[in-house]
Structure formats: structure tokens, C-alpha cells
Structure 1
Amino acid sequence: MSSDLCASPTVFTEVRRIIDTPEEQMTIGSISEGLGKRSYGIILFVLCLPNCIPAPPGLGSIFGLAMGIVVIQYLLGRDYPILPSFIGKRAIKKTTLRRIMDTSEPFMRRLEMIIRPRMFGPAQRFLEYLGMLAVAFMCLVILIPLPLTNMLPAMAAAVLSASVAERDAAGIIVGLIIGIAGSVIAVRAASVVVALLF
């Protein structure tokens, strides 16, 4: 493990730093711009949080769409994510972000105790790519317009994103397991609703 990796602020420290800036509101693009080289994992983690808790209507879909755009760029090999202006320039009140953070804090603290750099040698890069593929699939599940079905997939995506940012191979495996469970529940719920409607 390199000393640089050990010295880097954790995902959770970076997220709290972003939210604690003095501006009254922030854009999704400004969140991405301040994150540097680890921006993919960190911004995806931030975008997951509104779907990990009960959030204002419509907010989860906006963040889910932004997640999808970011993760696709990772899978295509871009050095850092760029959001289209209709998403990147969308302003969110700091009070809303702080409410999301306050509600998410217990979840973040649990992850902070568990996720740490644990690399699996030559398999590490494969696991990180597999984790981001799973995040891409979670984005599709999150966009299913049914109440509460997006929470478990979003939590899985948060675990995967934080684990990729922290280079935690074990965390990626745990995130994949949570993602499979959450996806099965969400897809079954959606199929039941469709069957009832049609």
C-alpha cells in the first residue's frame, strides 16, 4: 500500500468538506469539479445518497440520471467525468443537501468503519471495473418509478463507489452482493405492479 494512498482524505471526509462550503446552493457540476483524481468514486457516492434515504419527489431520478452519465464515462475510460449542462448546472439548495447528509450520516459512519484500502493484486483493476458495471446496472434499477425500491440498489451503488475510490476490493464484493439482492427485490416489485395494472 502506498503512502500516498494512506495520506489521501477518505471519500467520507471529501463528501463532508463539499457540503460544508459556505455557498447557499450548489450545482451538481460544482460538486464534480472540486474532487480531483478520485472524482469518479466520490461523485458517484455523493449522487447515491439522495436515493439511500426518503428524499423529495423527483430528486432521486435527477441524481440517478447523473449517476448513469458519470459511470458510463468511467467505463469508457475518461480521465474525469463531465456532466451535460442540463444536469451539471442544476442548482440544489444547501439546506436540502445538508438534510440529505444529516439523514445519511449513520449510513456513512457505518461505511467509514468498514471500507479501507484492501487490494487484491492483479484482480484489483478487474474488480473495480466490475464494480462500476454493477453501478451502471443499479442506475437503471434506481430509475424504476416505484417508492422505496431504489433504496437498496442505491446503497449497493454507494458501497461500490466508495470502495472503488478507496481501492477496497473486499468492499466491492460486498457491494455486488447487496446490489444483486436489491435488484431482485426492485425488479420483482416492478413486475408485480405491471401485472396488477395490465
Structure 2
Amino acid sequence: MDQKATHPLGGLTPSRTETAADAPNGRRTTVLLREFLETQTADRISLGALRDALGDRGFGVLLLIFALPNLVPLNIPLLSAVLGFPLVLLGAQLAYGQRRPWFPNWIKHRSFPRASFEAVVSRTLPALERAERLFTPRLTQLLSWTGERAVGTLVLFLALVLTLPIPFANWLPAFAIAIFGLAIVEKDGLAVLVGTAVAAASVIVAGAVVLGFIKAALLLFSSFIG
């Protein structure tokens, strides 16, 4: 009988049959993230080491990883702007049609605390495990080489929106990027359509927030000169 064991990062460790049979690339993303953390014993994790460990899942998982902190209430100033730049770089490469993520040395050797990364991953793993049950290979033509370039263009645009200091308008673009990341990993074209709908909603919300601030500034200006 197949057994499941409790894992220190939270939730259950999926059985061998679950991780191999249900995932198009052999292992679920949540399993890969757990395994990566288990192999990292240093206090800090370099971006290059993370990229190398992800292999052919690089684009999808990196999009997910850089989007996740924007979905968790961490209250870190300028977090969206800091994480937005790697997302811009990844989106541009995906739109160009590059097969594996590339980072310049000054980014590749940048590191972040292992404890912070583990905190974000452990807080989001339960939700990711539930989401993974919904993702399955379908409508795969939307994730052909041309399709992934279109997704990359959307990610690039959303990442640029994410870097802007727009209050209350960062969650939806990050959510859309996270969906696109999982869609690429799980080869789920339906998720691409869902991510596109969320992306459209995020643009509408960001536009409404910006328009509201412009109107408020004009009203304040008119009150001063009036």
C-alpha cells in the first residue's frame, strides 16, 4: 500500500506514483522545490544555483518563484520593483524564444537568505499543491514554441507593470505570472487562457488606480489654484 509521510516544509510528501504519473515532466513543481531546499545547506542561495537545479523547468518555475513573494503579505518595501526586474528579463527571453533562462553574472551570483526563501515556499506550498491538482496537459498547442513566445510577451508586459509603484495593483499581475509559470511547467493551455484573463483584469485594475490618482492630483491642484 502506498504511504504518504509528513514533510518538514508542510503538507504531505506525495507518493512516487503521484509525482511521476501525474506530472508531465516526471515530478510536480512542489516536489522539485522541496528537493531543492533539502540539498541547499548554506545560509544563502544563489540565483544561478536555483536556475541550474531547475533544468528544463527553468522558465516556468522561476516565473512562479519570483511572483510568489508578491502574493504573500511580507510588507517589504520596494519588493515588487526588486523582483520585477528578473521577471522582465525572463519575460523578454521567453518572448524571444530562448530555451533556457540566462542571467548576466552580476544577477546569477546574487544570493538571498535560505531562511527567507524557505519561509515563502513553506507558506505557499499547500496552495500550490491544491493548484497542481487542477493543472494537466491540455490545449498544448497554446504552449508550442510560438505560444510560449506569446506568453513571454504577456509576462514581460505584466512584469513592467509590477515594477511600477502603483499601490494595490501588484497582486493581480503577480498572480497572472504565477499562473503562466505553472501553465508552462504543466503544459496546460487552459491555464494560459485563465492567466490571460487575469492579466487583462490586472491591467484594468492598474489603469483604474492610476486614473484615480491622476484625478485626485488634478482635483488637489485645482483646489490650490482656485
- State the TM-score, normalized to the length of structure 1: 0.86
Query: Are 2:173 and 1:190 aligned?
Result: no
Alignment partner for residue 32 of structure 1, among 47, 51, 55? 51
Count of matched residue positions in the alignment of Structure 1 and Structure 2: 195
After the TM superposition, list the runs of 4 or more consecutive aligned residues in structure 1 that deviate by more than 6 angstroms: none
Please give the alpha-carbon distance, in whole angstroms, between the structure 2 residues aligned to 1:175 and 1:17: 27
**1:17/1:147 CA distance change after superposition, 3 Å:** farther
Amino acid of the structure 1 residue aligned with 2:132: E
Please give the alpha-carbon distance, in whole angstroms, between the structure 2 residues aligned to 1:27 and 1:148: 30
Deviations 1:61-105 (A, max 9, x none): 221110110121122122211112333222211111122123323
Query: Which residue in 1 is equivalent to 2:82?
Result: 62
Query: Which residue in 1 is equivalent to 2:68?
Result: 49
Instruction: Please list every run of 5 or more consecutive structure 1 residues that lacks an aligned counterpart in the other structure.
Output: none
Deviates more, 1:176-185 or 1:13-22: 13-22
Query: Which residue in 2 is equivalent to 1:172?
Result: 192
Query: Are 2:184 and 1:161 aligned?
Result: no
Instruction: Please list every run of 5 or more consecutive structure 2 residues that lacks an aligned counterpart in the other structure.
Output: 1-20, 219-226
Matches within 5 A, 1:1-198: 6=24, 8-20=26-38, 21-55=40-74, 56-120=76-140, 122-125=141-144, 126-197=146-217
| Superposition deviation, residue 22 in structure 1 | 2.0
**1:123/1:78 CA distance change after superposition, 3 Å:** closer
Q: CA RMSD in A?
A: 2.3
- State the TM-score, normalized to the length of structure 2: 0.77
